[in-house]
Structures are given as C-alpha cells and as structure tokens.
Amino acid sequence: MAIRPRKWLDRKLREAAYRRWSHVAEIAAGLGTVRKRSLREEALVLRRKLDLVLIRTDRRIELGREALSALHLPIGTDWRWRPGLMSTPIRPTGIASPESGDRLGEEAAVWHDCRDSALILKQISNLRETDLAPFGLEMEVFAFSGSFLSLSIDLPKDALSGLTRSHILRLETGLSAERAMNVYARLNVLSGPNTDQVTHHLAELGTNSVGHQVTEFDLAYTEINEKRLEKIWIDLIFESPFMNALQLRELFVSRHLRAEF
C-alpha cells in the first residue's frame, strides 16, 4: 500500500502532540505558578479548537441539520435557524444561581429580578425518537421571589437580511413542565432608536409530555424601519416559575412572506 506523505506527516504530528500533552498532564502538579498559568492558557486555546473539531464531526449535529432542511415549512420560507444551544455542545453545559444577564452559550441569556435566584439551567441531550434537535435545555426553579423570569435568544444577523414588514417570523418550540405554567413569547426588533415588540401567549403547560407549539409574529403590525435594522431577538417569558422544572426540547425559527391578496 502506498504511503501518502502528507497524511503520514499529519498523523505523526498529532501523535507527537498527544504525547506532549500526556507528559504535561503528568508533571503539571509540580510546576511553578507562572508555568502553570502559561500552560493553562495554552490548553484552553487547544481545547476550544478540539471542541470545534468534535462539533463539526458529531453525527447528531449532521442529523439535526438534515432534519432542519427536511422540515415542511410555509411556501415562501426564505430563512430558517436553530440556535447553537439546541444544535451544538456548549461549554460550560450549565449555570447555577445565575445573575440576571448571565449567558448560556453564545445566543441565550437568562433575565430575572430575583435577589436570591435558586435556578439551574443546563444543556441536555435529546434522545427521544421524536426529537429533531440534538440538544435541549432544562431549567429547574426552586426558591424564586422575583416578578419575572425570561430566556432571551439572540437571532443571527442574517435574520435581518432582506427583512420587511411583509414577513412573518415563525417560532416552533417543544416545551414541557412539571407543574402548570404559562409561557409567553415576545419578538423584539431594534431599528434605529426604537424597539418594536410583539408578544403572544405561547403555551399553558401542565404535564411532563412535550407539547409542540407554533407561534407566528406578523411584522405588518410593527413599525420597524426596514433600512435601519440593527438587532432581533426572542424572549421566552415564564409566569409563576416557583418550584417547577421545565424542558425546552426544540426551538426553531423561520420566516416567510405573507400571502398577498
């Protein structure tokens, strides 16, 4: 069998790197403080690169993308998206007792006004046959004395490309809760100095079965400035979350043009 020099060299370099880091792991405890700090920074950079490799070679993510493309969406759909929280592994995988504004992954942030927030949010793997997204989010709420709790999802910049008041933003979610809970969805569009908001009742949850919700935001009812679009995001607002556990197993956003008559 012919040896391909490039592949052989790449393999040897990876093997050498593996041996080097195995050796570093063995001796790290006995190194000086400055050397430990330097190696830690180098290791964190390497881990981010390795995480990227794992993400891009994860078959579950490939299946999630295939499922995304196969979804039956309204005619005229010109954009579709699922946040990284639902499609790729994140690090850290969870946060406990978060401050208002703490982020989970790149697009999601939790907001509340509770001084002592006994909350736990963590990414979970979706293993059910009916799950389309590779990952989901679990939120456990214990003591909560605040007046509001919400999860905001930043939509990417390409969601604004070509966006007009003739568009409808379509939100699909899969939600379940241990106890009765009302959930609302609010679309926010920042254009110039103004933020247009549209709020809909998303679901009334009460069992552990996963409910499928579809909500549409018609931008005709907003006054967005199509030439000055800056940011777009969705808030999921949880009413009376005290002593409850909620699972978000799907969150998928698409847009389509309204049928004109």
Query: What average pLDDT does the chain have?
Result: 85
Q: Give the per-residue pLDDT at 80.
A: 92
Asked whether the beta carbons of 199 and 210 are under 8 A apart, the reply is no
pTM: 0.73
> Would you identify the CATH topology of the domain 77-257?
Jelly Rolls (2.60.120)
Alpha-helix runs per DSSP H in the chain: 5-27, 33-56, 59-70, 84-87
The whole-number pLDDT of residue 143 equals 78
* Confidence (pLDDT) at 23: 84
Q: Is the pLDDT of residue 74 over 80?
A: yes
Among 10-24, 112-126, 173-187, 225-239, which is the least confidently predicted range?
A: 10-24
Tell me if 253 sits within 8 A of 160, measured CB to CB: no
CA atoms of 104 and 95, how far apart (whole Å)? 7
Q: Which pairing describes strands 77-81 and 244-257: parallel, antiparallel, or unpaired?
A: antiparallel
Q: Is the pLDDT of residue 17 over 90?
A: no
Examine the pLDDT at 79 and tell me if it is beyond 70. Answer: yes
pLDDT of 134 reads 86
Mean pLDDT of 100-123: 90
Q: Would you place residue 95 in the very low, low, confident or very high pLDDT band (cuts 50, 70, 90)?
A: very high
CB atoms within 10 A of CB 17: 11
Q: Half-sphere exposure (CA, 13 Å, Cβ side) for 113?
A: 5
Query: How much of the chain, in percent, has pLDDT values that exceed 70?
Result: 86
The one-letter amino acid code at 24 reads: V
Half-sphere exposure of 83 (CA within 13 A, CB side): 26
For residue 14, name the pLDDT band (cuts at 50, 70, 90): confident
Read off the pLDDT of each residue in 10-22 and give the average, rounded to a whole number. 81
Q: What integer pLDDT is reported at residue 92 of this predicted model? A: 85
pLDDT band at 183 (very low <50, low <70, confident <90, very high): very high
Domain ranges of the chain: 5-56, 77-257
Residue 60, pLDDT above cutoff 80: no
pLDDT at 209 exceeding the cut of 60? no
Positive or negative: CA dihedral 70, 159, 186, 61: positive
